[in-house]
Structure 1
Amino acid sequence: MKLNPFLHLSLSVLLYNGAVAEIQYSIETNWNGKPVVHPAANLTLSVGPTNDTFTIHVQAAYFGSPEIPDCEAGYPYDALYNFEVVETFFLCSESNEYVELEFAPCGAHLVLLLYPTRNALVEYLPLEFTAQIDRQAGVWIGDVIVPTSFLPADVNRFNAFAIHSGTPEEQVQHCYTTLAGQHSEKNNLNVL
């Protein structure tokens, strides 16, 4: 079980001065603490095309379930977390402000700026997000450009999740272990 004190220096260096070229993460654990039984979802955070952006590249297994009704690629989608997604959380532990970025294989996304836990300050911010599904290979790939202005000041914690259909133990997976493998929003943020 890997617990994350998080790479405080690496993330802040990437996001705030671009000195680190990229950071890679893998979502390898189910909520019950057991390893995923399919290829892990992988995320790469990189310096963006401009000084005030960074990119996230997602490569994940494609399950196709649950399908998103009326999905419009490149646009925000309400309650996206109820469908197959990969989501990232960036938190400032001093202020408890955080941003949740959600990405779906169909190209929909959702940005939520939150403070405190689950209280949305801003929703539906636009993003440059594209996604492609390779049904034959059973994978999807997404690329997004994120303005650093979407992040709280002094981000120092991070976690990532993959959500899809499956048995209850396999529906939600995480990059960094939650407390005792429990599934709750409070525990999500404790390990960010």
Structure 2
Amino acid sequence: MLEYKITNTWDSIKVMHEPVIIRFKAGDHGLIMEVNSLFFDDPSAPSGEPGKPFDGLWDYEVVESFFLNSETKDYLEVELCPHGQHLVLLLSGGNCFEKGLDLIFKADINWNKWNGTALIPWRYFPPGVDKMNSYAIHGSGIGRTYEALYPIPREDIELGQGPNFHRLEYFKRFSLKWIMGENWEQPASDLWK
């Protein structure tokens, strides 16, 4: 199991609340992603059915993880919402070519916290994942907050720049073998040809 805590905003300012925790675990047919987070209840829930993909989920309260092959610039984006909706995108060089793939995902809200568990099928991962980043987004209007596991360093931020989660150069080393074991081989995928 690997555990990560999101302790900064996208622009390297410490968050002033309990950090979002993301855990990755071995699953039978994929990677298990667990989220433990404060529930901000802002904005309100998306109109989509829980357990189903919801396009534009990034405009709501979400926790996201990106899995990158840094040579090919192919990456998987997984977005999870406390209300049960999800969104899976496959991107190559920043261009999305597959969106709205199914995901086994359950979320529950208990007072001011939410927990979610997703099983991400191996076929969704590009071959040769070697970097990752994760994000948490909540709030509305000027109170919209964008948090990053690996934020952009303060000295790299340009005047007028806003959050951009597709800045692949700030992703950090990651290997699925750290979870699955050194002898594990990623199954071939029909989605990445």
Give the TM-score, by structure 1 length. 0.81
**Is 1:176 aligned with 2:150?**
yes
Aligned partner of 2:61 in structure 1 is 84
Aligned partner of 2:135 in structure 1 is 161
Matches within 5 A, 1:88-107: 88-107=65-84
**Is 1:141 aligned with 2:115?**
yes
Shift of 1:116: 1.3
3-state SS of the aligned residue for 2:123? helix
Q: Is the 8 A contact 2:12 2:153 kept in 1?
A: no
- Tell me the distance in 1 between the aligned counterparts of 2:166 and 2:90: 16
Structure 2 residues without counterparts, runs of 5 or longer: 158-162, 172-193
Deviations 1:31-72 (A, max 9, x none): 231211111000000000x1x311011001111111133231
Matches within 5 A, 1:1-192: 22-48=1-27, 50=28, 52-117=29-94, 119-135=95-111, 138-165=112-139, 168=142, 171-180=145-154, 182=157, 183-187=163-167, 189-192=168-171
- Tell me the distance in 1 between the aligned counterparts of 2:96 and 2:20: 26
Q: Is the 8 A contact 1:29 1:177 kept in 2?
A: yes
Q: Is the 8 A contact 2:82 2:115 kept in 1?
A: yes
Q: Which residue identity is paired with 2:164?
A: S
Give the TM-score, by structure 2 length. 0.80
What is the aligned-residue RMSD (CA, Å)? Answer: 1.7
Structure 1: which 4+ aligned runs deviate by more than 4 Å?
A: 166-170
Deviations 1:59-104 (A, max 9, x none): 0111111113323111000100000000000000010000110000
Q: Which residue identity is paired with 1:60?
A: S
Shift of 1:184: 2.2
- Tell me the distance in 2 between the aligned counterparts of 1:24 and 1:42: 7
Change (3 A) 1:169 1:70: closer
Structure 1 residues without counterparts, runs of 5 or longer: 1-21
Shift of 1:190: 1.2
Q: Is the 8 A contact 1:32 1:169 kept in 2?
A: no
Change (3 A) 1:104 1:64: same
Q: Is the 8 A contact 1:26 1:42 kept in 2?
A: yes
Aligned partner of 1:19 in structure 2 is none
Aligned partner of 2:175 in structure 1 is none
